[in-house]
Structure 1
Amino acid sequence: MRFSQKQSSKLPQVDLIPMLNVMMGILAFFVMITMSLGSEKLIDVQLPADQPDNAPSPLPSDPFIVELVGENLVQLNGQPVEVDALKGQMADYLSRNPENIVFVLPSQDLPYEQVMQFLGEMRSVGGNRVSLAIEE
């Protein structure tokens, strides 16, 4: 018993619409990621120059140390202070002492984003004379 073989002369057709849907979805994904990553603000951080003898620079006689203890909890030289009052005191300090620097000392338990936002607020008042400090 022989089976008859029918040969089809038609070529198989490729449906392009599902492939185009997938490609447009991927394109939309990358456009959205690019737009969201491009809108972040950056804070310019300038690292100090290397000191040959590795000796730390001496603190001024009246240092201005701002401790970021918790969310919206700020201390100035160990005393609690409001952020708005701190900005005024910092402007006065920097105008009286043109060579001194304001040190911001954050708690290590705070999230990085909160520390950078606070540092940005302080830099809006003091410019490049506000420095992020760490405890050893």
Structure 2
Amino acid sequence: MRFKSKVAPPPPPVDLIPMLTVMMGILAFFVVITLTLGSEKLIEVQLPAEQQDNAPPPLPADPFIVQLVGENQVQLNGQPIEIDALKGQMEAYLGRNPENIVFLLPSQDLPYEQVMQFLGEMRSVGGRRVSLAIEE
């Protein structure tokens, strides 16, 4: 009676080409995703020049202060107002007063993206005469 010898078969060869192809595909996927997520719309913000005196410029006699209280909750000089009506009043105010500025005063609790989006909508109506304000 003959027994077969228990010699282990040689290990299978490792083919690196399919593994490298998969790795390159995954790398290309992440590069494409990174590039598409990185394209955000930017809003130009011009900071004022440094002033020697720390006194803020005086407010106009009839200021136009828009308070962003919450999501789609807007107040004009302390009174609640609809966003569509706000745009109309803003156009009329800027037409009457060519030197005045519209101030946007957002709530501290709102996310940055929401504030910048609303500022962009206001700038589409008022251009460079819309300014972001902060409370001290």
TM-score of the aligned structures, taking structure 2 as reference length: 0.86
RMSD, aligned α-carbons: 1.3
- Structure 1 residues 102 and 15, CA, compared in 2 at 3 Å: closer, same or farther? same
State the 1:87 CA deviation: 0.3
| Structure 2 unaligned residues grouped into runs of 5+ | 1-12
SS at match of 2:121: helix
Letter in 2 for 1:23: M
State the 1:33 CA deviation: 1.1
Report what 1:6 is aligned to: none
State the 1:127 CA deviation: 0.3
SS at match of 2:109: coil
TM-score of the aligned structures, taking structure 1 as reference length: 0.86
Report what 2:36 is aligned to: 35
Report what 1:126 is aligned to: 126
Letter in 2 for 1:84: D
Percent sequence identity is 70
Letter in 1 for 2:131: S
Map Cα deviations across residues 75-96 of structure 1 (whole Å, 9 max, x no partner).
Answer: 0001111000000000010011
State the 1:28 CA deviation: 1.7
Report what 1:102 is aligned to: 102
Map Cα deviations across residues 22-59 of structure 1 (whole Å, 9 max, x no partner).
Answer: 12211221112112212x11111111111111211110
Report what 1:88 is aligned to: 88
Q: CA–CA distance in 2 between the matches of 1:106 and 1:27?
A: 41
Q: Which runs of 4+ in 1 moved over 6 A?
A: none
Q: CA–CA distance in 2 between the matches of 1:115 and 1:31?
A: 29
SS at match of 2:54: coil
Q: CA–CA distance in 1 between the matches of 2:63 and 2:51?
A: 21
SS at match of 2:74: strand
Q: CA–CA distance in 2 between the matches of 1:32 and 1:18?
A: 21
SS at match of 1:16: helix
Letter in 2 for 1:113: E
Q: CA–CA distance in 1 between the matches of 2:42 and 2:57?
A: 27
Report what 1:7 is aligned to: none
